[in-house]
Structure 1
Amino acid sequence: MVTLVAYVVVAIAVSFICSVFEAVLLSISPAYVVSLEQKNSKWAKIVRELHDHIDRPLAAILTLNTIAHTIGAASAGAQAAKVFGDASVGVFSAVLTLLILVLSEIIPKTIGASWWQSLVPVMAVGVRFMVKLLLPLIWITELLTSKLGPKDKTNPYLRDEIQAMADLGLQLGALQGVESELMKNMLKFRDLQIVEIMTPRSVLFSLPESTTTDAYMNEFTSSSFSRIPVYGEDPDDINGFVMRNDILLSHLREGGNTTLESLKRPIIAILEKEPLPKLMATFLEKRSHIAMVVTEYGDIRGIVTLEDMIETLLGREIVDESDEVVDMQQAAKTKWAHRLTATAS
């Protein structure tokens, strides 16, 4: 009887440990591994090794679990036949199956999935020992399964998973609404083109470079724009921009005869079809906050600013007390609709 109990206890105990380790291992995310490394955790190296070559620890866990189930059940069944007789083997097998299901599958995997972060150190040490113990068997399974796994180890769904995590973080209260929205907007950032966020040429506020500071002070001081594009003879010939503060300072120091041309700064040009990350890199490299958007033929489509990019990331317009129009692209569409209506009438 003692031998029978020992067989059952050992089989269930080994299977229990294997199931806990399996649940913990499969609960570890790539982000958690990186987090351990950033914190310089002493378990980071082991967890990284197990996670990057997850087929080995899984093979070790499943091999040991199968051995425990098979040998344990067979030995316990044979011992039960000696103790209770052959007629009771069927009943004993049914009871043992139920015990294995509950005590070595359902309960341990629930524990592992629920408390996996606390159990990571124990799992790391235990599974590494299993891998070393069963290394010959693992090599055999690797030879048999080496052709089954994908050659490309990258995760094509990682961006979708991060977006889902942002939504989940908001639902669970781990993230605020602005944080969740910012994460999702950042994931969409590389798919947007400059033409989608720029201020269209039709509603662009610009001035001829021959305009004097006195004329600006008399006619355009109500303008809220801090950077004003300037052009030569033709409004489509934008060749720079002036800072509003430069105009005000020049008017105070030098009088009103100074032209905007003398205050003009060079403006960078960028193609309308370029992605936003390239525009961001250009802004940082050139230390600029404004760029002229052009077609491949050099025609001006509009102006884009660093503020436009920040608004895209935040998912909302940045306005202050002096802004009369919130969405310049919508203003351009409205202006075009009014023009069509006037032409039709």
Structure 2
Amino acid sequence: MDQLSLSTLFIILGVLLLISAFFSGSETGMMSVNRYKLRHLSQSGDKAARRVNFLLERPDRLIGLILIGNNLVNIAASAVATVIGMRLYGDYGILLATIGLTLAVLIFSEVTPKTIAALQPEKVAFPSSFVLKPMLRILYPLVAAVNFITNNFLRLLGFDPKNAGKDTLSAEELRSVVHDAGAMIPSRHQDMLLSILDLEKVTVDDIMIPRHEINAIDINADWSQISRQLMNMQSTLVLLYRGEIDDAIGFLHARDMLQVVTRNQDEADKPSLVRAVREIYYIPEGTPLSVQLIKFQQNKERIGLVVDEYGDIQGLVTLEDILEEIVGDFTTTMTGQAVETIAKEDDGSVVIEGTINLRELNKELKRNFPTDGPKTLNGLLTELLGDIPDNPMCLVIDDNRVEIIEASNSVIKSVRLLPKRKRTKRKSQD
């Protein structure tokens, strides 16, 4: 090296710094590349993506290769810089070369290439794979030896190198990914994906039609009364029961109603009405919607009665109810239940029915009523007050101002939600 000219030494030093920048940028680019996008491109046949994916299958091997190359280059650059410094400044050149090389490595071989790689990982990682994959084959014995030592040392520290490169997402992490997708996924599709993730948190109790709202007919009533109910029934599905709803017989569909009602209107048609019903499918209360959706599919059912631990009927759930949790409300439902009206007033307040479901209310009006207890607004207000109020009154639930407009002896019928107060910052006085 003593026989080389200064200009040649500076060229060699420059080349070594560029090679060091390549290794530094490659390391950051490889580690920063989007693994899920990479797998998609790899499965689509992108050759560069396949090379990068191959290298990332064993991150310990890739890091070992890059660090071996980077350290060899940096040590060589240090030796060249030392020779240059001693030629120019004698013994003081060693100190000056150390300081100068440190700054040069930090600026040109570390910070700059790693920043570029972090900003554009694919544009750095894909071209780098052209060089790194052949290098891995050439230096494999050395890389394997280094990895053998480091992996055993990692096991002593309690880490398992075999788990490297295995990326999994939890439901909450996947939720964040969907939120961060931005314009890449339409907002409507984002809402549907998030709703699917929420199915495990929501149970049939949260969306069921309460037992007192189920369209049902007592088979013990007079045939004339039953026939009149059937003729005036707007629902496509009716539950038949004996005496009380807990003694349910089965469901009667619209086409079956039509066949029965058009026959002779006498007592003899009651048995035919009972024979026309369809078997009841029961659902234990507390069943998550994700589980119930699969059960509906496996059992080829579309509707079921929710029962508690004593077998008492609590409500009714349909396949459409679960699908609405994902895609939003349909214009009609197979049970024909009327959707609770929400009337917006000119002053910004909202008048709603007391029987509205709290989850639907929170979703529709962006409110934050608690849903871990009662399922309806009437139930929540009744629980908080401990009674049904005789006169209109107002109360505050968290930051929701509620005015009870109309109530009967058994239920709060209508409620007005007042607009949320705008919080104003107080100006500090000097």
**The one of 179, 186, 201 aligned to 2:196:** 186
Residue in 2 that maps onto 1:26: 31
Q: Structure 1 residues 227 and 133 mapped into 2: Cα distance closer, same or farther (>3 Å)? A: farther
Question: Aligned partners of 2:33 and 2:317: how far apart in 1?
Answer: 43
Amino acid at match of 2:138: L
Whether the aligned pair in 2 keeps the contact of 1:215 and 1:256 (CA below 8 Å) is no
Select between 76-85 and 149-158 the one with higher mean Cα deviation: 149-158
Amino acid at match of 1:114: L
Whether the aligned pair in 1 keeps the contact of 2:245 and 2:313 (CA below 8 Å) is no
* 1:108-164 alpha-carbon deviations (Å, 9 max, x no partner): 223222333344432333222232233233223323332153476665753332211
- Give matches, 1:292-331, under 5 Å: 292-314=305-327, 316-320=328-332, 323-325=338-340, 329-330=357-358
Select between 203-212 and 136-145 the one with higher mean Cα deviation: 203-212
Residue in 1 that maps onto 2:402: none
- Structure having the larger proportion of residues in strand: 2
Residue in 2 that maps onto 1:227: 237
- Give matches, 1:94-133, under 5 Å: 94-133=99-138
- Structure 1 alignment gaps of length 5 or more: none
- Structure 2 alignment gaps of length 5 or more: 1-5, 342-354, 359-374, 389-408, 412-430
Amino acid at match of 2:280: I
**The one of 181, 206, 218 aligned to 1:208:** 218
Relative contact order higher in (CA < 8 Å, ≥ 6 apart): 1
Q: Structure 1 residues 182 and 210 mapped into 2: Cα distance closer, same or farther (>3 Å)? A: same
Question: Aligned partners of 1:230 and 1:332: how far apart in 2?
Answer: 26
Question: Aligned partners of 1:128 and 1:137: how far apart in 2?
Answer: 15
Select between 197-206 and 331-340 the one with higher mean Cα deviation: 331-340
- SS of aligned partner of 1:143: helix
Query: How much has 1:247 moved relative to structure 2?
Result: 2.5
Whether the aligned pair in 2 keeps the contact of 1:195 and 1:272 (CA below 8 Å) is yes
The aligned length equals 337
Question: Aligned partners of 1:137 and 1:295: how far apart in 2?
Answer: 66
- SS of aligned partner of 1:288: coil
Residue in 1 that maps onto 2:396: none
Whether the aligned pair in 1 keeps the contact of 2:231 and 2:261 (CA below 8 Å) is no
Residue in 2 that maps onto 1:162: 174
Query: How much has 1:165 moved relative to structure 2?
Result: 1.6
Whether the aligned pair in 2 keeps the contact of 1:199 and 1:329 (CA below 8 Å) is no
Select between 2-11 and 115-124 the one with higher mean Cα deviation: 115-124
- Give matches, 1:60-79, under 5 Å: 60-79=65-84
Query: How much has 1:22 moved relative to structure 2?
Result: 1.4
Amino acid at match of 1:27: S
Query: How much has 1:308 moved relative to structure 2?
Result: 1.9
- Structure having the larger proportion of residues in helix: 1
Residue in 2 that maps onto 1:282: 295
Query: How much has 1:17 moved relative to structure 2?
Result: 1.2
Amino acid at match of 1:25: M
Q: TM-score, normalised on structure 1?
A: 0.82
Question: Aligned partners of 2:17 and 2:219: how far apart in 1?
Answer: 86
Question: Aligned partners of 1:240 and 1:182: how far apart in 2?
Answer: 33
- Give matches, 1:253-292, under 5 Å: 254=263, 260-292=273-305
Question: Aligned partners of 2:219 and 2:59: how far apart in 1?
Answer: 66
Sequence identity (%) = 23
- Give matches, 1:4-19, under 5 Å: 4-19=9-24
Whether the aligned pair in 1 keeps the contact of 2:215 and 2:237 (CA below 8 Å) is no
Whether the aligned pair in 2 keeps the contact of 1:227 and 1:241 (CA below 8 Å) is yes
Whether the aligned pair in 1 keeps the contact of 2:251 and 2:277 (CA below 8 Å) is yes
* 1:287-307 alpha-carbon deviations (Å, 9 max, x no partner): 222122222332322111112
- SS of aligned partner of 2:283: strand
Whether the aligned pair in 2 keeps the contact of 1:11 and 1:69 (CA below 8 Å) is yes
Question: Aligned partners of 1:119 and 1:36: how far apart in 2?
Answer: 16
Q: TM-score, normalised on structure 2?
A: 0.68
- 1:40 partnered with 2:45: yes
